[in-house]
């Protein structure tokens, strides 16, 4: 979309701003669960362990500059399609496990390793976390909750390392753009979390698979035609 609109500010600072907004939304919506971390330190430890792989690998990709080399529309098109099919496949697994009783350290590590794939553009972090949880037979709502809770340490890390660049920009226009990005990301993330959880309580994930397939086809047309 940035390329279609000739939007020049496609820097990582915009991505960071969007992540900051998403983090605020998750903290607001799941504040009761976050408070419960005080009493349920084991759950917090599992979430932290599950988040470490993607944070470590992500830090290495940023430091080496590799993260910028894989930011192109062809990669996004292919990953959008491939992981759309993987989401469809995972949603055929049984619906029998829940967050409270079945989120073990083994599950945390499995989902955490899957999250590393989200560092590739076009692979949704929340999507791949839900996919991994569904492969483990977690119910859809519980898979989504796991995904959102796992986003807290990850988005916190991204925000911590990137916030300095956001606020220290020499460009007043870019600074304002970052602030607007944070606000809009917070607003739409909050709305998305609320209605997404309501939706998957009654329906499967097919609509998101269809979205990824159609988006991938559009991106293929832009990239190759």
Q: What is the pLDDT of residues 175-198, one digit of tens each?
A: 778 788 889 999 999 999 999 999
187 vs 166, higher pLDDT: 187
11 vs 143, higher pLDDT: 143
Q: Residue 120 sits in which domain range? A: 12-224
The C-alpha atoms of residue 25 and residue 19 are separated, in whole angstroms, by 10
Does the residue 193 lie in any domain?
Answer: yes
CB neighbour class for 78 (10 Å; exposed up to 12, middle 13-18, buried from 19): middle
In this structure, of 99-113, 138-152, 163-177, the range with the lowest mean pLDDT score is: 163-177
**Residue 12 confidence (pLDDT) above 80:** no
> What's the mean pLDDT when you consider all of the chain?
87
pLDDT tens digits, 24-56 = 999 999 988 888 777 788 888 999 999 999 989
How many domains, in total, are found in the chain? 1
pLDDT tens digits, 77-91 = 999 999 999 999 999
Does the residue 170 lie in any domain?
Answer: yes
pLDDT > 90 fraction of the chain, expressed in percent and rounded: 57
pLDDT for residue 71: 81
67 vs 94, higher pLDDT: 94
Does the residue 75 lie in any domain?
Answer: yes
pLDDT for residue 170: 60
**Apex CA 190: angle with CA 185 and CA 196, to 5°?**
115
The H or E element that residue 210 is part of is: helix 206-224
The C-alpha atoms of residue 118 and residue 89 are separated, in whole angstroms, by 18
Does the residue 6 lie in any domain?
Answer: no
The C-alpha atoms of residue 56 and residue 35 are separated, in whole angstroms, by 26
The C-alpha atoms of residue 76 and residue 108 are separated, in whole angstroms, by 27
Does the residue 7 lie in any domain?
Answer: no
């Amino acid at each position: 979309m940035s390329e279609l609109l000739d939007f020049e500010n496609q820097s990582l600072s915009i991505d960071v701003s969007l992540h900051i907004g998403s983090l605020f939304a998750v903290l607001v919506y799941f504040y009761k669960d976050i408070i419960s971390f005080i009493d349920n330190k084991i759950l917090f430890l599992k979430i932290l362990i599950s988040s470490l792989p993607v944070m470590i690998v992500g830090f290495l990709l940023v430091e080496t500059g590799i993260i910028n080399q894989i930011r192109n529309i062809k990669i996004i098109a292919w990953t959008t399609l491939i992981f759309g099919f993987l989401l469809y496949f995972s949603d055929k697994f049984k619906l029998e496990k829940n967050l409270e009783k079945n989120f073990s350290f083994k599950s945390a590590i499995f989902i955490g390793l899957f999250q590393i794939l989200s560092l590739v553009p076009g692979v949704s972090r929340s999507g791949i976390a839900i996919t991994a949880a569904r492969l483990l037979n977690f119910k859809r709502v519980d898979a989504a909750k796991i995904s959102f809770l796992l986003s807290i340490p990850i988005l916190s890390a991204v925000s911590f390392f990137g916030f300095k660049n956001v606020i220290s920009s020499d460009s007043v226009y870019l600074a304002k753009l970052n602030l607007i990005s944070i606000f809009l990301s917070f607003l739409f993330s909050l709305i998305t979390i609320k209605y997404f959880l309501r939706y998957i309580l009654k329906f499967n994930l097919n609509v998101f698979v269809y979205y990824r397939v159609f988006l991938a086809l559009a991106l293929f047309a832009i990239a190759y035609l």
